[in-house]
Amino acid sequence: MSRHSGVLYIVATPIGNLEDVSARAKRILAEVDLIAAEDTRHSRKLLAALGIRTPLQAYHNFNEHEAARRLIEALKAGRDVALIADAGTPLINDPGYRLVSAAHAEGLQVVPVPGPAALIAAFSAAGLPPTRFAFEGFAPDKHAARLKIFTALKTERRTLIFYETPQRIVHFLEDAVTVFGGMRPAALARELTKKFETIKKANLAGLLAFVQADEQQQKGEFVLLIGAAEAGTHADEQEARRVLSILLDSLGVRQAAAIAAALTGQRKNALYELALKMHNEKPPTDK
Ligand code: SAM
């Protein structure tokens, strides 16, 4: 690395509440020669609110290649650059990867200036086991692809964290109930740090009912957290056994499984197998 090269700062900005900008982020944004921003019009408002006049350059998914090349030239010429996203931490489901990897390839210094990220804010307040998590970003748009991804993640032993949009929130939860089962522990974090912030911990069936019952809860920005398989599977089976044992007192295996599926949101086939097992385990009744 040349002694005269500039530094690339990766600066986190608020995800809603302007007070969340750090003192260091403010100082760096004011001191650098250039700010690379996803949407310059959007970022100009943030910088104006902070009283910062540093020149902006667009850096987004559609000009990433060319913009990264120009920013690397600027850094090599000794200019300090800050990268910001529209909200939160750059590169977290936002542009920047090409620039950061190119900077490393050129031996340039890359310095993170940490701050808000929706997934971390949500995880810290969700009330799910905080030891291990897997960040999945946005689930696929299409129903079939989403079911496929969920199925692949069904036995994941870490808390799953997803980003979601208002257009898809109900479909996301419907598909999650189908695959993970309605009893799987989960949490929804909506509009974090903003006026209508909602943090709701419930099982998946409960979250779906909560969102369906109130259109306000379908608006804004979302982080969805799905509890790890271990805890969830156990809770699912316990609930399935409880419901089936009541139903099997008066119904046949097939009918009990169908009703239990409707009540718990769990899969009919799995419930049928469990009902059959429970039926066969039952001691014979005295005639
Ligand atoms: N870079 C951002 C970060 O650090 O979290 C994420 C950007 S990604 C393009 C936008 C998505 O992040 C939204 O659709 C939503 O899922 C999530 N998100 C961003 N701000 C949020 C907030 N205030 N509350 C809940 N979710 C938020």
Per residue in 60-111, pLDDT (tens digit) is: 988 999 999 999 999 999 999 999 999 999 999 999 999 999 999 999 999 9
Q: 135 alpha carbon to ligand 1 midpoint, in Å?
A: 12
**Least confident piece of the model among 101-105, 142-146, 275-279:** 275-279
Beta-carbon contacts of residue 272 (< 8 Å; ≥ 6 apart): 253, 254, 257
- 132 CB-side CA count, 13 A: 6
The alpha carbon dihedral of 101, 45, 34, 71 has a sign of positive
Mean pLDDT of 13-26: 98
152-167: per-residue pLDDT in tens? 999 999 999 999 999 9
Q: 238 alpha carbon to ligand 1 midpoint, in Å?
A: 35
Candidates 156, 153, 198; CA nearest to 172 is 153
CB 20 within 8 A of CB 115: yes
Using DSSP's 3-state secondary structure scheme, residue 96 falls into coil
Residue 232 has pLDDT above 70, yes or no: no
Relative to the CA of 91, which ligand 1 atom is closest? 1
Pocket of ligand 1 (CB under 6 A): 15-16, 85, 87-89, 92-94, 117-119, 163-165, 189-194, 221-223
Q: 223 alpha carbon to ligand 1 midpoint, in Å?
A: 7
Phi/psi at 162 (5° precision): -125, 150
Provide the pLDDT for residue 265. 81
Relative to the CA of 92, which ligand 1 atom is closest? 1
Average pLDDT in the chain:
93
Residue 253 has pLDDT above 70, yes or no: yes
3-state helix, strand, coil in the chain (%, to 5): 45, 20, 35
What own/partner pairs with CB < 8 Å and gap ≥ 24 does 47-55 have?
A: 49/18, 50/18, 50/21, 50/26, 52/26, 54/29, 54/30, 54/82
pTM: 0.82
Provide the pLDDT for residue 58. 96
CB 275 within 8 A of CB 260: yes
Task: Express as a percent the part of the chain with pLDDT over 70.
Answer: 95
Beta-carbon contacts of residue 205 (< 8 Å; ≥ 6 apart): 177, 182, 183, 264, 265
Q: 158 alpha carbon to ligand 1 midpoint, in Å?
A: 21
State the pLDDT confidence band at 287, using cuts at 50, 70 and 90: very low
Strand locations in the chain (E): 7-11, 34-37, 56-58, 81-84, 109-113, 133-138, 159-164, 185-190, 198-203, 222-226
What's the angle, vertex CA 183, arms to CA 181 and CA 188, rounded to 5?
95
CB 150 within 8 A of CB 204: no
200-220: per-residue pLDDT in tens? 999 999 999 999 999 999 999
